Amino acid sequence: MNNFIFESGTKFLFGGGCVKEYLASFLAGYGPCVLLVTEEADRRSHAADEVRDILHRSGKQMTEYAMGPFCPRYEQVLRAARLCRERRVDLILDVGGSAVMDGCKSTSLAAVCRGDLWENFGELQGVVDVPPLPIGFVASHLEVGAVNGAAGLIHERQCVWRDYPPCDPQFALLDPSCTCELSRQSFTAQGFSALAGALSVLLLADCRHEAEQHPAVLAQLARRVWETDDTGRFEQETAQDGVRAFVEFLRELELPTEYSELDDALRCHLKQSVPAQNLLVYTA
């Protein structure tokens, strides 16, 4: 893919070496104090180290904070917001993927909120009358779907989603080389999520349901995708063969196929994000 620049509230730069070439010029537009936010497991990634070096050479005063994994917890956001106020942060710089981006969006608002973020915005969905702290984003994960759009936050085992465009990053640098250090499992998991738009467990559960309720549809999928031979067989059998082929494909990628294989944090995320009233709120 060729390098490109795209802007929609957020200015996106895509291409090899874009972090090294452009980050310093973006940093020049903000004050001296930067909060660098990374994922807990990626603090020493190539992308994070490169950003630290650029911040140092740009003369920025850097404070670091790690959050995640998965959907950020309210307590993490409050601690990050407290750092922003104490250090008089001018820019929140996120190096990671969607999970950290969600946390940074909430932090940018919590840092300037006069009261409790949950009471004034999360629970009551109030109108925001102060500008959030600006955010910059350097992608180190393949899946970065939350750059623009709703952000998730876990509060007392309940996951809520809020969409407030002023919290979107001012700029996003997407350098493909920054994903090279991911483990095979992490890389394939993020790629699967980005392409399928769903977790493997959820998508597989849906396929199993459809194989029971609409076997003709799943039988056609099995023939076209998995090249299942259905000569002289019922559609129900072909549909189940397709499901089994999908299970083997996920296992080959080392992705979970059963709900019991997920860790507690992700189970909580899935269980608590179902209620309709908590799915999406847009505050103008």
Amino acid occupying residue 160: V
Amino acid occupying residue 23: L
Structure tokens at 53: 């070096």
Q: pLDDT tens-digit profile of 248-264?
A: 888 887 777 777 776 66
Question: Position of tokens 């109030």?
Answer: 126
DSSP symbol at 145: T
Task: Kindly indicate the confidence band of residue 144, based on its pLDDT and cuts at 50, 70 and 90.
Answer: low
What is the rounded average pLDDT of the residues 213-222?
Answer: 90
Domain ranges, ordered by start, for the chain: 11-182, 187-282
The string of DSSP letters for 185-198 reads HHHHHHHHHHHHSS
What is the rounded average pLDDT of the residues 71-97?
Answer: 92
How, if at all, do strands 135-139 and 33-39 pair?
unpaired
- Please report the beta strands in 156-265, taking only residues with DSSP state E, as ranges in sequence order: 158-163, 171-174
Residue pair 261/201 in contact (Cβ under 8 Å)? The answer is yes
Q: pLDDT tens-digit profile of 108-131?
A: 989 988 777 777 666 665 566 778
Q: With 50 as the cut, is the pLDDT of residue 232 above it?
A: yes
Architecture of 11-182 per CATH? 3-Layer(aba) Sandwich (3.40)
Structure tokens at 164: 């407030």
Of the listed ranges 101-110, 142-151, 163-172, the least confidently predicted one is 142-151
Structure tokens at 4: 């490109």
